[in-house]
Amino acid sequence: MTDTPRITDSHCHLDFPDFDGQLADVITRAADAGVHRMVTICTKLKNEPTVRAIAEVHAPVFYAAGTHPMSVATEPMASFDTLVALTRHPKMVGIGETGLDYHYTSESAEVQQTSLRLHIAAARDTGLPLIIHARAADDDMARILAEEHRNGAYACVMHCFSSSAALAKAALDLGFYLSMSGITAFPKSDALRDIFANVPLDRVLVETDAPYLAPPPHRGKPNEPAFTTHTARRAAETFGLNYAEFAAQTEANFERLFPKAAL
Rounded CA-CA distance 146/123 in Å is: 14
Which residue type occupies 18? Answer: D
Rounded CA-CA distance 126/139 in Å is: 27
Q: What is the pLDDT of residue 1?
A: 42
Identify whether 211 is preceded by a cis peptide bond (ω within 30 of 0): yes
Task: Show the domains of the chain with their CATH numbers.
Answer: 7-261 (3.20.20.140)
| Residues 112, 78 contacting (CB under 8 angstroms) | no
Q: What is the pLDDT of residue 200?
A: 98
State the alpha helices, DSSP H only, in 180-263: 190-197, 228-238, 243-257
Write down the pTM of the prediction: 0.97
Burial of 198 (0-12, 13-18, 19+ CB in 10 A): exposed
Would you give per-residue pLDDT tens digits along the chain (263 residues)?
458 999 999 999 999 999 999 999 999 999 999 999 999 999 999 999 999 999 999 999 999 999 999 999 999 999 999 999 999 999 999 999 999 999 999 999 999 999 999 999 999 999 999 999 999 999 999 999 999 999 999 999 999 999 999 999 999 999 999 999 999 999 999 999 999 999 999 999 999 999 999 999 999 999 999 999 999 999 999 999 999 999 999 999 999 999 999 97
How many other CB atoms are found less than 10 A from the CB of residue 190?
A: 8
Q: pLDDT, tens digit, for every residue of 83-108? A: 999 999 999 999 999 999 999 999 99
Q: What is the pLDDT of residue 105?
A: 96
Rounded CA-CA distance 210/147 in Å is: 31
Q: What is the pLDDT of residue 3?
A: 80
Q: Residue 79: helix, strand or coil by DSSP?
A: coil
Q: Residue 215: helix, strand or coil by DSSP?
A: coil
